[in-house]
Structure 1
Amino acid sequence: MLAKQYNHDFNEKTTKEKEMSREDLKFLEIMEHSAVLQEGRYCLKLPYKNKEVCLPNNFAVAKQRIQGLRRKFLNNKHLHQEYAGYMNTLINKNYAEQVPQQQLHGERGKVWYIPHHGVHHPRKGSLCVVFDCGATFQGASLNSELLRGPNLTSSLLGVLRFRSEVVAFMGDIQAMFHQGKVAEEDRDFLRFLWWPDGDITQDLREYRMTVHLFGAVSSPSCASYALRKTADDNQSEFVDDVVQSVKQHFYVDDCLKSAATEEEAIQMIKDLTALCHFGKVDKQQSYCVAGHQRGAKGQGPEGVGFGPR
Structure 2
Amino acid sequence: MVAKAHIDQLLDGPRLNDNDSAALVQLVQQMTVCEVTLRQLNYDSDLNSCRTIETIVRRLPSELRFKLADEAAIITRSSREPQFADLTRFVEERADNASLRYGIDALQDNLERLYQQDFIDAGTIKVNKMFVGDHQAIGLVETSLRLSDGHHEVARPWRPGFFLSPDNRSVAQGRLYVLRQRLMKGGELAQHYSHVMGGYISRGHAELVFEDGPANCPWYLPHHPVLHPADPQKLRIFFDCAAKYADKSLNNRLLSGSYPTSSLVSVLLRFRQGKTAVMVDIEAMFHQVRVPDKNCDALTFLWWTNAGMQGSPTE
Place the TM-score, normalised by the shorter chain, in its bin.
Answer: 0.5 to 0.7
1:116 equivalent to 2:223? Answer yes
Partner of 1:81: 191
Unaligned runs of 5+ in 2: 1-114
Secondary structure, counterpart of 1:129 in structure 2: strand
Aligned counterpart, 1:217: none
Distance change >3 Å, CA 51–CA 30, structure 1 → 2 = farther
Partners of 1:57 and 1:46 in 2: CA distance: 19
What stretches of structure 1 of length at least 5 have no aligned partner? 207-309
Q: Out of 232, 257, 262, which is 1:149 matched to?
A: 257
Larger Rg: 2
CA shift in 2, pair 1:72/1:158, >3 Å: same
Closer, same or farther: CA 159–49 of 1 in aligned 2, 3 Å: same
Aligned residues of 1:88 and 1:198 also touching (Cα < 8 A):
no
**Map of 1:136 onto structure 2:** 244
Give the aligned partner of residue 200 of structure 1. Answer: 309
Q: Is the 8 A contact 1:84 1:197 kept in 2?
A: no
Structure 2: distance between partners of 1:131 and 1:27? 22
Which residues of 2 match residues 22-33 of structure 1 at below 5 A? 22-33=132-143
- 1:24-53 Cα deviation digits (max 9, x unpaired): 100011012211221121211111122442
Q: Which moved more, 1:184-193 or 1:12-21?
A: 12-21
Shift of 1:122: 1.5
TM-score (norm 2): 0.57
CA contact (8 A) 1:115 1:132 kept: yes
Q: What is the root-mean-square deviation of aligned Cα atoms in Å? A: 2.6
Mapping for residues 45-124 of structure 1, pairs under 5 Å? 45-104=155-214, 106-107=215-216, 110-124=217-231
Q: Work out the number of aligned pairs and report it.
A: 199
Higher helix share: 2
Write the letter of the residue equivalent to 1:111: P
Deviations for 1:115-174, whole angstroms, at most 9, x for unmatched residues?
000111123331111111111111111111111121222332111235536765533122
**1:101 aligned counterpart, secondary structure:** coil
Structure-2 residue corresponding to 1:303: none
Partner of 2:101: none
Please state whether the residue corresponding to 2:301 is helix, strand or coil: strand
Higher share in strand: 1
CA deviation vs aligned residue, 1:159-216 (integer Å, no higher than 9, x gap): 123553676553312222122111110111000000115441343100xxxxxxxxxx
Calculate the TM-score normalised by the size of structure 1: 0.58
Residue 15 to residue 205, structure 1, CA distance change in 2 (3 Å): closer
Amino acid aligned to 1:120: L
**Residue pair 1:63, 1:193 contacting (<8 A) in 2 also:** yes
Contact 2:222 2:243 in 1 (8 A): yes
